Amino acid sequence: MNIETESKPWVSSSKKESVVLETLDGLEFQKVCGRIFEKLQYGRVEVCPYTGDMGRDLLIQTNAGLIVVECKHQPNSSIGRPVVQKLHSAAISSRAIRGILITTGKFSVQAIEHAKSLAPPIELIDRNILTDLATQAGMELILEGKKHTVLTYPVSSNDKLQDRINRSINSRFKSYPEIASKLLRIKNRGFAMYPSYVIQYDVNATFETSVGVIHRENAENRIILIDGNEGKLLKEEIAKHIKSASLTVYDESTYKDSNLKKVSFRIDDNTLKTLSMKYISNFHTKNKTYWGKNNQKYTKLCVPNERHIFISNTKQVYVPFQQIELQAFKIKYDITAIENSENLLCYTKMFNCSVCGGYIKDTKTLCNSCGAIVHNKAILDSHSFECKICGKTLCRKCTYDLGFNKKVCKECALKNGKDLKPLSVEMNQHTILGILFIIGGSIGVLMNFLLLTFVFIIVGIGIMLSNQKSQAPPYEFI
Ligand SMILES: [Zn+2]
Ligand SMILES: [Zn+2]
Ligand SMILES: [Zn+2]
């Protein structure tokens, strides 16, 4: 049985390409500028490797000749006269017809004045002109400082998501005759938008006592996520998971055909600042022990404060928590997942065995009769079987015993003319064998085989304890 997924337009971003400048590094910014010139059909654009600073980041071959371009992604600074001079020299030595200097910041008055007098000419493009050019090229540039642009992480289309899940689950399941990805299909999908602030920061703290430096706490480009509604700290695994994911502008129409829940942003800037400092400080607080001059051991709590913490970036982001419902036959599995470009961070109970309820660490068996996920075959009290006749993988509840330990599926049992009851879910082989060993050991006492008795009783207890269930981890990657 193959449950069809409805195709809904869960496209990864709006049709118009939008670029959030603050999320780009120098080379990425160069490439974006190159793309703008390409779309405006200036000529053939070549992006130069981002090494050293030769005063030329892009080369544009036009019909009239070469244009050299220098790109400065420095939103908070003003470009001075020396940068203009440098590009001018580069233009001369490259025999260019023109130079173009781009900045996401501003130009100083001296730079503007100087550029006016040059030949070959140097054209200055500041953030406003750049935004206009981008618009003409059909792109939307989101500049830093344009506050309250809510961003989000892109999500895959339904088909692509199913592909990603398939790739990951087939290797984790024993499933016959159908492979796991044939049976486990996305049945429903919804989105819960979690209002969050992504806080990027550096920490640079040195802790000293009379004996000298006892601890240095250094961190660069770390991020934490703060819930924008209640101000709680989001789990560390989420921050790690989405750190490398690309951002796009949040556009509600992307989700217009799907079940969307959205919580609003509520905390104000001051609260956010205070909370960020508090969380970052807590996160980097360490207890250090050291030896004092009098040869005594001391402990000092090293707490970074506002002087040690530099918040380099704050982004307002809707983190999409996807509610995915997978279905195999009539059994449904719920997954709450967050995507990045590699995999899905998942909170789910689907890997708990449907026979014993315990977590299944390694390969799982997928019952091809009912869709249950169960522990692999075991010697005692097995939670799964393979049909002795057709080979179908079965959970215990779908297994029938033809006698002489011949375990089969329902269809094969019926073909054999037998209408039996499926195996009981009550299991006692562990207990029986354990008790047998303990009784055996006790008999040993009577016969004075003390060492053997000891071994028997330990093995007996071991067998009984080996039946214990393992606990599910807090999250999984699919
Ligand atoms: Zn089990
Ligand atoms: Zn089953
Ligand atoms: Zn069978």
Q: How confident is the model at residue 15 (pLDDT cuts 50, 70, 90)?
A: very low
What pLDDT digit, counting tens, does each position of 73-109 carry? Answer: 887 788 999 999 999 999 999 899 999 999 988 899 9
* CATH (domain of 112): 3.40.1350.10
Rounded to the nearest whole angstrom, what is the distance from the C-alpha of residue 164 to the centroid of ligand 2?
Answer: 25
Closest CA to 187 of 154, 161, 167, 155: 161
- Dist CA 444 CA 131 (whole Å): 89
How many degrees, rounded to 5, is the angle at CA 266 between CA 202 and CA 321? 75
In a domain, 232, yes or no: yes
Same domain membership, residue 127 and residue 219: no
Q: What confidence tens digit (pLDDT) does each residue in 388-410 have?
A: 999 999 999 999 988 888 899 99
Burial 315-354 (b: 16+ CB within 10 A, else e): bbbbbbbbbbebbbeebebebebbbbeebbbbbbebbbbb
pLDDT at 437: 79
Cβ distance 101 to 84 under 8 Å?
Answer: yes
286 plus 398 within the same structural domain: no
pLDDT single digits (tens) 119-133: 899 999 998 899 899
User: What pLDDT shows up at residue 331?
Assistant: 96
The ligand that comes nearest to the alpha carbon of residue 407 is: 3
- Is 2's pLDDT higher than 70? no
Mean pLDDT of the chain: 86
Which ligand ends up closest to the CA of 380?
A: 1
- Secondary structure class of 294 (helix, strand, coil): coil
Are residues 433 and 405 part of one domain? no
| Segment 242-280, tens digit of pLDDT | 988 888 888 888 887 788 898 889 988 889 989 999 999
Residues of the chain above pLDDT 90, percent: 52
**Model pLDDT, residue 251:** 85
What is the DSSP secondary-structure string of 115-158?
HHT-SS-EEEE-HHHHHHHHHHTTEEEEPTT-TT--EE-----H
Answer yes or no: are the C-beta atoms of 136 and 40 closer than 8 Å. Answer: yes
452 burial class (0-12, 13-18, 19+ CB within 10 angstroms)?
middle
pLDDT at 431 > cutoff 60:
yes
Pick the ligand that lies closest to the CA of residue 353. 1
Ligand 1 centroid – CA 374 distance (Å): 5
How far apart (Å, rounded) are the C-alpha atoms in residues 353 and 374? 4
Mean pLDDT of 367-380: 94
Does 475 map to a domain? no
Q: Does 38 reside within a domain? A: yes
Collect residues with CB below 5 Å from ion ligand 1: 353, 355-356, 375, 383
Angle at 438 between CA 432 and CA 443, to 5 degrees: 125
Number of domain units in the chain: 4
Q: Range of 241's domain?
A: 158-171+186-321
Give the distance (Å) from ligand 3 centre to CA of residue 412: 4
* pLDDT attached to residue 383: 92
pLDDT tens-digit series, residues 159-173:
999 999 999 999 999
On whether residue 473 sits in a domain, the answer given is no
What's the predicted TM-score (pTM) here? Answer: 0.68
Q: Is residue 5 assigned to a domain?
A: no
The CA 373 to ligand 1 mean position distance, Å, reads 9
- Find the 357 Cα to ligand 1 centroid distance in Å: 6
Position 52 confidence tier, pLDDT thresholds 50, 70, 90: low
Instruction: Find the 355 Cα to ligand 1 centroid distance in Å.
Output: 5
Residues 313 and 190 in one domain: yes
Whole-number Å distance, alpha carbon 5 to ligand 2 midpoint, is: 23
> Both 410 and 456 in a single domain?
no
Please name which ligand lies nearest the alpha carbon of 382.
1
Instruction: Examine the pLDDT at 239 and tell me if it is beyond 70.
Output: yes
pLDDT tens-digit map of 444-456: 777 777 777 888 8
